[in-house]
Amino acid sequence: MTMCENSTKAPMDMKAYIDQAEQDLLHTYNRYQIVLDRGDGVNLYDINGKRYLDFCAGIAVFALGYHNEEYNNALKNQIDKLIHTSNYYYNVPAVEAARKLKKVSGMDRVFFTNSGAEAIEGAIKAARKYAYLKDGHTDHEIIAMEHSFHGRTMGALAVTGNAHYREPFEPLIGNIRFARLNDMDSVLACVTEKTCAIILETIQGEGGIFPADEEFLTKLRALCDERDILLILDEIQCGMGRTGFMYAWQRYGVMPDIMTTAKALGCGVPIGAFLMTEKVAAHSLAAGDHGTTYGGNPLACAAAEKVLDLFEKNHIIEHVREIAPYLEQKLDEMVEKYDFIETRRGVGLMQGLIFKCPVAPVINRAVEKGMLLINAGTNIIRFVPPLIITKQNVDEMVSILCDCLDGMTAGE
């Protein structure tokens, strides 16, 4: 078959694409039965042209919405110039992205990765190397939080506080102790002379949309300062403006020693980073200790650089602070309306409705009615929409969701 003949071949229908995917792809995802084709603003469209209001943004990734012309053009321009060189050489987008990321985070040093999980791996390595250089020992311990989620790689799994994720892949890296979020006594019970780091999500995502308390973070910071323990904050999902601050810890003024970021950093192009203070950088990872072939490549960093530019130009943080109270109000009204919804929990445009029953049937109904939602556990609907949503988008979401909920009972 010639190239011309192949290009005129009629596309498959939705079911055919799904059937083909199930034959070819490893079945590690239970996907919704949709083949998405394109996006525009806060809407996605499947290959049949059906529109879906998107309130999950690719799991808190597409902060700027779909088909942003300036973002797309920045990527197209970089593709025409240079896509990859390796880290044997410098490239301008990486230098510019690092400079701008330092500015918005207040951190001192940046290492670009390909994902959030890789950023966690790097943060763990940096913490262990920091401790090793102090005493030459290799038996240091890390304190993580119950119900946390940090990624699927072996190191990230080791500090993920859900045994269901860890058990099939053990043994993982050792010397991990688990405390409870917002329970300082449980943290103190885990601290030993071997503790080198404490890692937590500033707001737990997969674990149920649980924000860390200001008092808890302040006490953690004081403990870490007193004992020369490194505080690692995972801002992969809750960062990049989602809470009305570029990073959620900035809401409390409790700066970490190491921070991870990803997801909306590239708004769809795979990129993550771990950042650290100069003190940690000077006494941890050195040449040869850590590396990545693709991390920090020109294309990914061009995406991150443009995202950071557009956040400033389009006043994204200010917009989140303006629209989030309206979303909270509408979700609170739903809590009052339906007796099978227990409460709302969250910060900014990272919200959860906690149900007394499983939410999968509700999410499936929403898909049928043209809206995309995701869960955070079996009984929580998570709302992490593009940060550009309007009050009209919130109203449409509420209308569709109420249509899905009307007639439900607590046992459904």
Predicted pLDDT at 36: 96
Q: Which two tokens stand for residue 75?
A: 């990527």
| Sheet strand arrangement including 374-375 | 341-347, 350-355, 380-383, 374-375
pLDDT attached to residue 408: 76
> What pLDDT sits at residue 306?
98
The per-residue pLDDT for 47 is: 95
DSSP 263: G
218-244 pLDDT, tens digit per residue, is 999 999 999 999 999 999 999 999 999
Strands (E), 17-81: 36-40, 43-46, 51-54
H or E element that contains 358: none
Q: What domains are defined for the chain? A: 3-64+315-405 (3.90.1150.10), 70-313 (3.40.640.10)
Nearest-angstrom CA–CA distance, 273 and 265: 9
What does DSSP say about strands 36-40 and 43-46: parallel, antiparallel, or unpaired?
antiparallel
The whole-number pLDDT of residue 1 equals: 38
The model's pTM: 0.95
Residues of the chain with pLDDT under 50: 1-8
CA distance 158 to 154: 6
CA separation for the pair 258, 111 (Å, rounded): 11
110 close to 339: Cβ distance less than 8 angstroms:
no
The pLDDT of residue 222 is: 98
Reported as a single tens digit per residue, the pLDDT across 54-110 is 999 999 999 999 999 999 999 999 999 999 999 999 999 999 999 999 999 999 999
Picking from 125, 180, 112, the residue whose alpha carbon sits closest to that of residue 154 is 125
